Structure 1
Amino acid sequence: MIYPIVVYGDPVLKKKARDIEQGELDVKELSEDMFETMEGAHGIGLAAPQIGKGIRMFVVDGTPMEDEDEDMSDFRKVFINPEIIDETGEEWGFEEGCLSIPNIREEVFRKETIRIHYFDENWEEHEEEFSGIKARIIQHEYDHIEGILFTDYLSPLKKRMLKGKLTNITKGKMKVDYRVAVPVKK
């Protein structure tokens, strides 16, 4: 099932997500739906809050980036109840985008290596280290379950420059080739 992508301005994107209790939902089915939703929108990562679910889960698939320097052929994973244990190395800049903030890309600086503890879709426990683009993708998606958007890292000047575009997104005034859920104004 393909979900609509929740866009900038929806409160679910700014709330810290809660842990998932084993057995409370079918995480295999949800992860398949999330992969299908992400692929339909041509993304490489998708967090549960981006489909309106305030739970600590995200999926990543770096295989579309196989032409990058790193080997991304096996980088298709599900992260349930993840916790970043450590971030190390130099901070490096990379232009990031987000399915929930369409048509805006900005440089964000992040540490180059992370160590993360998580469960996969089979509830098997993992602790792994990732570097480079893989680490960045995970950090971006992890931020979503912490209620943080990549725009939160931008300077006040850059945020002011983007204000009009961000306001248009909250109103549904943007061109995308995937279904979106625009925030409802009360």
Structure 2
Amino acid sequence: MLCEICKDEGFLAQRAEPATLEDLQTAADLLETLEYHKDRCVGMAANMIGVNKRMIAFDNEGAYMVMFNPEIIKKSEPYEAEEGCLSLNGTRKTKRWKSIKVRWQNEQFQERRKTFTGWTAQIIQHEIDHCEGILI
């Protein structure tokens, strides 16, 4: 189901609750909403569609990917970035890392780990910030 984009900064500033198997429909809604906004959006967190669960969806080099309960477990090479967000107006400066190692669960809730770099790493960091209640 296509969802409205949440712009309530009070809601967006909350830390997300862990995602569970009961949240698979939210993942489908997140993907559908991301696809709808693909012309101006490369990633979304569940709180952007009004669901306070630790879940993100993003463009992983041309294919959409969902992560349940993602967390960055290693990072290197900091840099300054300027980002926008569908939930916020304008762009803002923020610190990002060129390389990150992420631990998450897939749709079957099996644990996965992978290192991401460059643009994909930046997208993931932005969406994980949403899960932490951090607004750029």
TM over 0.5: yes
Contact 2:15 2:132 in 1 (8 A): yes
Aligned to 1:88: 76
Q: Which whole-Å CA distance do the structure 2 matches of 1:40 and 1:113 have between them? A: 28
Within 5 A, what are the aligned runs for 1:46-85?
46-62=44-60, 72-74=61-63, 76-85=64-73
Q: What pairs up with 1:29-178 in 2 under 5 angstroms? A: 29-42=25-38, 43-62=41-60, 72-74=61-63, 76-89=64-77, 91-102=78-89, 104-150=90-136
Counterparts of 1:143 and 1:120, CA distance in 2? 19
Question: For residues 141-170 of structure 1, what are the alpha-carbon distances to aligned partners after superposition, in whole Å with 9 as ceiling and x for unaligned?
Answer: 0000000011xxxxxxxxxxxxxxxxxxxx
Q: By how many angstroms is 1:8 displaced?
A: 4.5
Aligned 8 A contact 1:2 1:36 in 2: yes
- Asked if the contact 1:8–1:101 (Cα under 8 Å) also holds between the matched residues in 2, the reply is no
Aligned to 2:17: 18
Aligned partners of 2:103, 2:86: CA distance in 1, in Å? Answer: 25
Percent sequence identity is: 35
Displacement of 1:81? 0.9
1:2 offset after TM fit, Å?
0.6
Which protein has the larger Cα radius of gyration, Structure 1 or Structure 2?
Answer: 1
Partner AA of 1:115 in structure 2 = K
- CA–CA separation in structure 1 for the residues paired with 2:88 and 2:35: 16
- 2:26 touches 2:46 (CA, 8 Å); kept in 1? no
Looking at structure 2, the residues matched to 127 and 137 of structure 1 have their Cα atoms a distance apart, in angstroms, of 17
Structure 2: 5+ residue stretches without partners:
none
Structure 1 length-normalised TM = 0.67
C-alpha root-mean-square deviation of aligned residues, in Å?
A: 1.6
Amino acid at match of 1:14: A
**Within 1, Cα distance between the matches of 2:76 and 2:44?**
24
- TM-score of the aligned structures, taking structure 2 as reference length: 0.89
TM-superposed deviation, 1:26: 4.4
Deviation at 1:82, TM superposition (A): 1.1
Contact 1:81–1:119 under 8 Å retained in 2: yes
Structure 1 residue 108, shift from structure 2 partner: 2.3
Matched-pair contact (CA < 8 Å) for 2:59–2:120: no
Q: Give the length in aligned residue pairs.
A: 134
* Larger fraction in strand: 2
